Structure 1
């Protein structure tokens, strides 16, 4: 007998369901599942060696200058 008897666990489960309700327990279970998945993902990310960022050999948009000379353009006179 003792605490490991299935009848005791059944009574505890029924009391918990009556106190909290099924919706809260379902939400609690999904939250715990998501937190475990996030923890496992974080642990697996730490084990992988991080790769240094790749520096491009040439800038994507290299600076350039435009060599030009401004010229004045005369407009024809208007006739009103």
Structure 2
């Protein structure tokens, strides 16, 4: 009961063919194929536009060392 048998799928196929007709189903599948083809072409263009870079990339300057703790300013006592 949890899975569909071949008879279930055949009944669904017959209902779809009756509702949409044979020509309409082939048109839908053709449009679906065009969409997949367009998607694949878009993915290929993306791969060509942004080439893959393997390994670490060091385009930035090295990190600066952390600043030392601030030293207190020397006091100038006027009493001397």
Same fold (TM over 0.5): yes
Map 1:1-80 → 2, pairs under 5 A: 1-49=1-49
Q: Using structure 1 for the length normalisation, give the TM-score.
A: 0.57
Unaligned runs of 5+ in 2: 51-80
Unaligned runs of 5+ in 1: 51-80
Residue 4 of structure 1 and its aligned partner are, at CA, apart by 2.0
Rg larger in 1 or in 2?
1
Across the aligned residues of Structure 1 and Structure 2, the Cα RMSD in angstroms comes to 1.5
**With CA pairs under 8 Å and 6+ residues apart, which has the higher RCO, 1 or 2?**
2
| Separation in structure 2 between the aligned mates of residue 43 and residue 20 of structure 1, nearest angstrom | 32
Q: How many residues align?
A: 50
Residue 3 of structure 1 and its aligned partner are, at CA, apart by 4.0
